[in-house]
Amino acid sequence: MKFTEEHEWLRVEDDLVVVGITGHAAEQLGDVVFVDLPDEGTVVSKDDEVVVIESVKAASDILAPLDGEIVEVNSALTDTPSMVNDDPLGEAWFFKMKVEDLSALDDMMDEAAYKAFIG
33-84 pLDDT tens trace: 999 999 999 999 999 999 999 999 889 999 999 999 999 999 999 999 999 9
- What H or E segment, with its residue span, contains residue 115? helix 111-118
The CATH class of the 2-102 domain is mainly beta
Enter the pTM of the model: 0.94
Going from N- to C-terminal start, the domains of the chain cover 2-102
Mean pLDDT of 100-113: 93
In this prediction, residue 58 carries a pLDDT of: 87
Q: Which residues neighbour 40 within 8 Å (Cβ) at sequence distance 6 or greater?
A: 70, 71, 72, 73
Q: Which residues neighbour 50 within 8 Å (Cβ) at sequence distance 6 or greater?
A: 38, 42, 44, 61, 62, 63, 64, 70, 94, 95
Tell me phi and psi for residue 61, to 5 degrees. -105, 140
